[in-house]
């Protein structure tokens, strides 16, 4: 008895057909809080709430799965700005600790709040451009 084993069809990004999606363009549009496909519609309906769809081209934003990635990226970016600054100031000027805290804590908070929305927009834009999650209509996986 011979068993015929059929290779399961594996969906990959390359096997997807349809319009070409420019990752860098989608990333830049996401950074500006705009729809990654048309660049005109608003991506967010609130500070960190992604809209359900683009009001201009109708692109469905609900398949995005940004989750905690924007927060992790913001921590890395802000950390790479604030920590070297603290080390440089401490090494060269050594100001009193209360003064340092009065500057660095608000600086960290403000930088984080300023970066969160653009970074989340960029993550959603990249997910759309790379057809991740539900952003590819031809993906057979649910």
- Under rule CB under 5 A, residue 66 binds Zn ion: no
What minimum distance in Å lies between the beta carbon of 37 and Zn ion?
5
What minimum distance in Å lies between the beta carbon of 45 and Zn ion?
14
- Under rule CB under 5 A, residue 50 binds Zn ion: no
What minimum distance in Å lies between the beta carbon of 39 and Zn ion?
7
Nearer to Zn ion, 56 or 89 (CB): 56
| Sites for Zn ion among residues 72-101 (CB under 5 A) | none
What minimum distance in Å lies between the beta carbon of 137 and Zn ion?
15
Rounded to 5°, angle at Cα 85 from 24 and 88: 135
DSSP the chain: ----PPPPP---TTT--SS---HHHHHHHHHTTB-TTTS-SBSBSSSSPBPSB-TTT--B-TT---TTHHHHHHHHHHHHHHHHHHHHHHHHT---HHHHHHHHHHHHHHHHHHHHHHHHHHHHHHHHHTT-TT--TT----
Half-sphere exposure of 88 (CA within 13 A, CB side): 7
Nearer to Zn ion, 30 or 74 (CB): 30
Interface residue with Zn ion among 31, 35, 43, 122 (CB under 5 A) is 35
- Under rule CB under 5 A, residue 54 binds Zn ion: yes
List of residues contacting Zn ion (CB under 5 A): 35, 37-38, 41, 54, 56-57, 59
């Amino acid at each position: 008895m011979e068993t015929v084993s059929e290779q399961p069809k594996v969906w990959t990004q390359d096997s997807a057909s349809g319009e070409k999606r420019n990752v860098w363009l989608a990333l830049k549009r996401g950074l500006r809080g705009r729809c990654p496909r048309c660049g005109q519609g608003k991506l967010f309906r609130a500070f960190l709430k992604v809209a359900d769809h683009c009001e201009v081209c109708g692109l469905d934003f609900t398949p995005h799965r940004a989750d905690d990635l924007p927060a992790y990226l913001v921590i890395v970016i802000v950390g790479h700005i604030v920590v070297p600054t603290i080390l440089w100031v401490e090494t060269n000027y050594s100001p009193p600790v209360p003064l340092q805290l009065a500057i660095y804590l608000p600086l960290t908070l403000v930088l984080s709040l300023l970066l969160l929305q653009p970074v989340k927009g960029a993550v959603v834009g990249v997910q759309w451009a790379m057809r991740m999650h539900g952003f590819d209509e031809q993906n057979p996986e649910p």
